[in-house]
Amino acid sequence: MSYITFKSKLIEQKVKQYLKKKHADLLVKEGRRVLVKEEGAPLITKMLIHNDDLHSEDLADLQMFPNIKELELLSENITDLESLPPLEKLQKLYLNVKATDYTPLAKYKKLKKVKVYDSGVSDITPFCELSKLKELKLSCNKLISLQGMQRLQNLTELWLDRNQNADISPLAWLPNLEYLQLERNQISDLSPLRALKKLTTLRLYHNEVKDLSPLKHLPLEELDLEQNKIEDLSDLVGIETLRNLKICFNPIKDASPLLKMPYLEFVCTDAKDIYLPLERYLGKIVIKEVFGGQYPNFQEADTYIFSRKE
């Protein structure tokens, strides 16, 4: 009888946990040790480890489990991904690590969902090789350039919040995008978004946006524009699909466009000259809360949220 030989205690632990639930017969006790039969290896289809005791060299053990479809690794002590084996069935990957080179990920051609959070990613190139991707989440990294992203034609959901992007021009070539998260970047030009005819959710909190005209023909349902440089909302009037709108902490001069948008169900604003007509128009206040603003006029400003829903 053959048994799996582990080098990583954490991976061994996880494998035993998974097999114990439905395949306990593949675990053999010998004295104080519990061994894993080799027949158990093909049954491991996911590996989820959140433990800083997991190190880069431990990743080599994953080669014994070729049927892994979902891999989730969170550890500050994974600094190198070279040991990751070629898991040909891998479809879902989540990393929160401290690596500097992400090129080893380019070999996972069947990936459909990738999340690499707060992991120091500065080069998007390896991810651009993953042509089957539907969801890509690269929040809280160090991305400056998005060049190459035009190859990800199947993307429907993209998270790039809390990076250092100013130029989003490659996004114009992603026609299937439905959800786009761009909070906390340095974006001022939205013109590349004109081509995104399937985009329903756009989050632009804390950027440098002033001109909203590129959005006027998009099928947006949710739009977050908080903390930008927006003065004029008139370009939003024709977006009849728009239901949820956040406009706090902008130097908006005229609230009247909001009164021409009867389809809105939820509005979040902070300035009283906008708040007062909305109160009459929507009829009720759901929430009023203090929210510290960034513009001088809005320090310690109240945030008013209006809704047609109970």
User: Is 69 a member of any domain?
Assistant: yes
List per-block mean pLDDT (blocks of 10 residues) for the chain, which spans 310 residues. 96 98 96 96 98 98 98 98 98 98 98 98 97 98 97 98 97 98 98 98 98 98 97 96 92 84 83 58 45 40 58
How many structural domains does the chain have?
1
User: Is 31 a member of any domain?
Assistant: no
pLDDT value of position 275: 57
**Residues 6 or more apart whose Cβ sits within 8 Å of residue 22:** none
For the domain that residue 280 is a member of, what is the CATH number?
3.80.10.10
Rounded distance, CA 87 to CA 42, Å? 12
User: Is 288 a member of any domain?
Assistant: yes
Rounded distance, CA 297 to CA 273, Å? 13
User: Is 18 a member of any domain?
Assistant: no
pLDDT value of position 300: 44
Alpha-carbon distances of 81 from 119, 126, 269, rounded to whole Å: 12, 12, 45
User: Is 175 a member of any domain?
Assistant: yes
pLDDT value of position 195: 97
Two tokens, residue 7: 């080098």
Domain containing 194: what range? 46-307
User: Is 7 a member of any domain?
Assistant: no
User: Is 133 a member of any domain?
Assistant: yes
User: Is 16 a member of any domain?
Assistant: no
